């Protein structure tokens, strides 16, 4: 057995995939190093799920942009994970703090399943997207939402009287990606009536391995303008731009 050229083979194959290939064996099991690497990746993903959302991190990265903080009806993480229905509903106290106006759009920064993704990427995406919108758009204060599911954006937009919601939310962390941000665009959101088929989604916003902040913002702003022209989002609003995912 030639272990050296074996290592060279797997190293050359690993250029094509992040999959954990060519790990070798200790008996039938994984070598110690790979077992611990898997546990480290799992720990990072678990910590991403359970790390508390700190709205201050996002608010300070958004200096100069007005923000409002809200909670969902899920009181804590344990409840949040088991009761998606509560994560989709605004806390009654917070509903009253949302100023109604003829907003064209509201950006909702929602912790979802990875506050790390939100801390690292959300403010930059909000800034870059806003810059790409026509200057006459009436943009609501950015809502920073805790224990939030995607559909909480419907409730928030409805309470504000906003015509469109962009929810930037921490995606379910995988072991190879614990900091991935998703963006959900919904035109005319109606709590309880809007379905997932009514939304457009951009996922894997996670530079440098995933979508960059500027690429995400460009796509989002384009989709938002077309949504306003068409008066809808969802399956009938296709993303017709070229793919911007980095090729492996």
- The answer to the question of residue 235 lying near other proteins (CB under 8 A) is no
Nearer to other proteins by Cβ, of 89 and 127: the residue is: 89
142: which strand partners?
67
200: which strand partners?
185
Q: What's the min distance (Å) between Cβ of 62 and other proteins?
A: 27
Q: Which of 30, 57, 133, 201 binds other proteins (CB under 8 A)?
A: 30
Residues in region 70-109 near other proteins by CB under 8 A = 81-85
Asked whether 156 and 214 are in contact (CB, 8 A), the reply is no
What one-character-per-residue DSSP string does 59-87 give?
Answer: HHHTTTS-EEEEEBS--SHHHHHH-HHHH
Q: Which of 5, 32, 63, 135 binds other proteins (CB under 8 A)?
A: 5
Q: What's the min distance (Å) between Cβ of 42 and other proteins?
A: 6
- Cβ neighbours of residue 218 under 8 Å, at least 6 residues apart? 132, 241
- The answer to the question of residue 205 lying near other proteins (CB under 8 A) is no
Measured distance CA(147)–CA(93) in Å, rounded: 15
- The answer to the question of residue 242 lying near other proteins (CB under 8 A) is no
Q: What's the min distance (Å) between Cβ of 196 and other proteins?
A: 10
Measured distance CA(95)–CA(156) in Å, rounded: 8
Q: Which of 33, 42, 97, 193 binds other proteins (CB under 8 A)?
A: 42
Measured distance CA(125)–CA(107) in Å, rounded: 10
- The answer to the question of residue 34 lying near other proteins (CB under 8 A) is yes
Tell which residue, 198, 63, 51, has the closest CA to residue 111: 51
Write out the residues near other proteins by the rule CB under 8 A.
1-3, 5-6, 8-10, 12-23, 25, 27-30, 34, 38-39, 41-42, 45-46, 48-49, 81-85, 113, 172-178, 245, 247-248
């Amino acid at each position: 057995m030639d272990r050296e050229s074996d290592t060279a083979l797997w190293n050359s194959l690993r250029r094509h995939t992040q999959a954990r290939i060519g790990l070798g064996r200790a008996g039938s099991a994984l070598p110690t190093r790979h077992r611990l690497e898997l546990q480290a990746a799992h720990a990072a993903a678990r910590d991403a799920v359970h790390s508390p959302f700190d709205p201050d991190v996002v608010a300070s990265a958004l200096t100069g942009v007005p923000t409002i903080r809200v909670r969902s009806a899920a009181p804590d993480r344990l409840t949040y994970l088991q009761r998606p229905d509560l994560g989709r509903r605004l806390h009654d106290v917070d509903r009253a703090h949302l100023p109604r106006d003829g907003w064209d759009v509201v950006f909702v920064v929602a912790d979802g399943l990875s506050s790390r993704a939100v801390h690292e990427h959300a403010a930059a995406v909000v800034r870059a997207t806003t810059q790409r919108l026509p200057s006459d758009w009436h943009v609501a204060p950015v809502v920073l939402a805790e224990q939030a599911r995607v559909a909480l954006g419907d409730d928030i937009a409805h309470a504000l009287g906003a015509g469109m919601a962009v929810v930037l939310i921490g995606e379910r962390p995988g072991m190879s990606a614990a900091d991935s941000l998703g963006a959900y665009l919904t035109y005319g959101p109606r709590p309880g009536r809007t379905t997932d088929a009514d939304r457009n989604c951009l996922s894997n916003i996670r530079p440098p391995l995933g979508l960059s902040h500027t690429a995400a913002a460009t796509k989002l702003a384009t989709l938002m303008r077309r949504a306003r022209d068409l008066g809808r989002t969802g399956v009938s609003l296709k993303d017709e731009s070229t793919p911007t995912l980095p090729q492996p």
